[in-house]
């Protein structure tokens, strides 16, 4: 099987796995315990916090470890809202957010908040003028993702952050798909979310940055771990492996970017050279190269994904958090595509385990599937 679903998850790197096993075996003390075993675990926990903070250009006390990127999204938004002291008000998000944000804002709306969901252009970018016009006197918070997990489109979070600071509005950004792939700076936002398993770290491990300028309140008073953002004994081994994976991925980010640009170009040109129309969705100049959101007109993405799986290619029809929902792709619908076009969507995402020599195999397998499919239709 040629794995092409790295935006869904990545395998743990050897270095992260080695760190995990070492810490799990030798530093198993509870970091909240006052004895030496607890102190040893606490030192590893805080060293890991410093590693992640350094990559984000933040302070260690602004980093909070969680159980996932989705949980980080929701806990960060909750923390920012708690700082406002308001139980009602106006919130802004976009129509292309990850499901963990989209559904959470649906819940907040049911609780009494007013929610504006910004549309995006045909290339997947939000309109800064529309954002500015959407801000009202009671606007409390904006949550806009940095990189879309299905198209790879990059939003200009730095420009968004500058606008919101001028307006006195809190800003959260889902940076799960951008962390350690492109530049992510804490100074752009009031809070952001990241995840370990997107960068060759362990599953079940995420983190949130929350600016120390934000006077947020713990949801449950008396919780001591992670300053009350999240209760429960920290997974020291998982956190240490997260930090190790972060350090390695951040160091490799520039060479990886160049590699994936080259592979993406070769893939798209190779498929097109076989006579197939392939549409690469999303803004071409504001996009990370490891995510290809594609449409092959005339073939449903679900069918193509299943055929690819049988042929030994692991691709997807979008975010893994949306699996099981027989609906047109929501990101493409937000970009103005028809239901039929949105159902044609598939995602190919690249990663370290992909050998450039496999590109020819991928092109040949997709070509064979398309020929078989369209020959049946003509017959």
- Catalytic (active-site) positions: 321
Structure tokens given for 279: 């549409």
Helix (H, G, I), strand (E, B) or coil at 195: strand
Nearest to 42 by CA among 297, 225, 208: 225
Beta strands in the chain (DSSP E): 2-3, 63-66, 90-94, 114-118, 139-143, 170-174, 191-195, 206-210, 279-280, 291-295, 313-314, 345-349
3-state secondary structure of 221: coil
CA distance 183 to 171: 17
The alpha carbon dihedral of 244, 249, 255, 256 has a sign of positive
Q: Measure CA 53 to chain center.
A: 18
Residue with tokens 């007013």: 114
Residue 337 neighbours by CB under 8 Å, 6+ apart: 281, 328, 329
Pairing state between β 2-3 and 313-314: parallel
Q: How many CB atoms lie within 10 A of CB 135?
A: 18
For residue 93, give the nearest of 159, 31, 152, 142 by alpha carbon.
142
Quote the tokens at residue 270: 């190779």
The kind and range of the H/E element at 69 are helix 69-84
The residue ranges of DSSP E strands in 75-145, in sequence order, are 90-94, 114-118, 139-143
Of the candidates 65, 46, 12, 75, the residue with the CA atom closest to the CA atom of residue 241: 12
CA 166 to the chain's CA centroid:
27
Tell me which long-range contacts 109-115 makes (C-beta under 8 A, separation of at least 24).
111/87, 112/87, 112/88, 113/88, 113/89, 114/88, 114/89, 114/90, 114/138, 115/90, 115/91
């Amino acid at each position: 099987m040629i794995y092409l679903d790295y935006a869904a998850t990545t395998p743990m790197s050897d270095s992260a796995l080695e760190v995990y096993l070492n810490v799990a075996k030798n530093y198993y003390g509870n970091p909240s315990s006052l004895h030496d075993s607890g102190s040893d675990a606490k030192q590893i926990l805080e060293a890991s916090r410093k590693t992640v903070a350094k990559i984000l250009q933040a302070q260690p006390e602004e980093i909070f470890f969680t159980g996932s990127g989705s949980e980080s999204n929701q806990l960060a938004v909750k923390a920012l809202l708690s700082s406002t002291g308001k139980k009602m008000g106006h919130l802004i998000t976009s129509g292309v957010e990850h499901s963990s944000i989209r559904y959470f804002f649906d819940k907040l709306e049911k609780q009494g908040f007013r929610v504006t969901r910004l549309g995006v252009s045909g290339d997947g970018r939000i309109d800064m003028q529309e954002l500015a016009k959407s801000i009202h006197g009671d606007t409390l918070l904006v949550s806009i993702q940095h990189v879309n997990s299905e198209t790879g489109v990059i939003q200009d979070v730095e420009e968004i952050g500058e606008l919101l600071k001028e307006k006195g509005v809190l800003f959260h950004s889902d940076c799960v798909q951008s962390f350690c792939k492109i530049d992510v700076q804490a100074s752009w936002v009031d809070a952001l979310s990241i995840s370990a398993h997107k960068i060759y770290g362990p599953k079940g491990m995420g983190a949130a940055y929350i600016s120390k300028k934000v006077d947020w309140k713990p949801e449950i008073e008396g919780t001591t771990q992670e300053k009350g953002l999240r209760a429960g004994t920290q997974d020291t081994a998982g956190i240490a492996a997260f930090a190790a994976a972060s350090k390695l991925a951040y160091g490799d980010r520039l060479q990886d970017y160049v590699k994936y640009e080259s592979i993406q170009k070769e893939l798209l040109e190779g498929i097109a050279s076989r006579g197939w129309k392939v549409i690469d969705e999303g803004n071409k100049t504001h996009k990370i190269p490891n995510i290809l959101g594609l449409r092959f007109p005339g073939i449903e993405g679900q069918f193509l994904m299943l055929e690819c799986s049988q042929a030994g290619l692991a691709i997807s029809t979008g975010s893994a958090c949306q699996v099981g929902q027989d609906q047109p792709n929501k990101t493409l619908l937000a970009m103005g595509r028809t239901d039929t076009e949105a159902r044609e969507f598939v995602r190919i995402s690249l990663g370290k385990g992909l050998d450039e020599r496999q590109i020819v195999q991928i092109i040949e397998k997709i070509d064979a599937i398309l020929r078989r499919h369209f020959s049946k239709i003509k017959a």
